[in-house]
Amino acid sequence: MDIMDKETELTRKRYNRTSKFYDMERMIKPAIRKTILNQVEGKILEVGVGTGKNLAYYPPNSNITGIDLSPGMLAKARDKARKLQIPARLLEMDAQDLQFPENSFDTVVATCVFCSVPDPISGLKEIKRVCKPGGKILLLEHVRSDNPLLGRIMDLLDPLTVRMIGSHINRRTVENVTKADLRILSVEEQGFTILKNIVAEPNKEPI
């Protein structure tokens, strides 16, 4: 098992542990979720579906496939889907190695996910691969602050947050999206300067 595999397995164990109490509602208000998820079209992939907090905010009759690394998180997501009577397909899968053919989805969604993917650029490249040309990529991510002092504090605290809950608080996700060869259409702050809504598309030629 190489270093990246070890980090991925450690991330799975951390999120299985925190699935008992994990909830991102305090950071992401329902109105923000609704605004982002109202943009989805066609076949949807949610990467890092977690405990299923987004499921209630998709438009009716959405065609949703959700994946997550953690069986503990997925168990909660499946329970929510049953209660909401949403026929989502929820699968255990690594964002860095999506088991779907190229150009499988019209929309890809991720909310507060790429803070915890061991190799975020690899995961973003996988999103590009499975998203159809002209498709939508909707990311809501907390990122390293542009404020020099706050950014430095986040750097210092990052090893602690990773050990405790598995997420990095100092990821430069906007830059990582560009490095993964996704075409950024817009970046908007959502209430917090460290919470950004990134809308992108795969940098692909039409089929």
Residue 207 resides in a domain: no
Does the structure show a pLDDT above 70 at 21?
Answer: no
Average pLDDT over residues 135-160: 86
Asked whether the beta carbons of 77 and 71 are under 8 A apart, the reply is no
Residue 111 resides in a domain: yes
C-alpha angle 62/33/187, rounded to 5°?
110
- C-alpha span between 198 and 207 (Å, rounded): 25
* The predicted structure's pLDDT at residue 159: 83
Residue 206 in tokens = 């039409």
CATH number at residue 26: 3.40.50.150
* The predicted structure's pLDDT at residue 26: 57
For residue 186, the one-letter residue type is: S
Neighbours of 158 (CB within 10 A): 17
The per-residue pLDDT for range 67-123, each reduced to its tens digit, is 999 998 899 999 999 999 999 999 999 999 999 999 999 999 999 899 889 899 999
- Strands of the sheet containing 131-142, edge to edge, are 89-92, 63-68, 43-47, 105-111, 131-142, 192-202, 182-190
Q: Which domain holds residue 196?
A: 3-202
Q: Could you give the number of structural domains in the chain?
A: 1
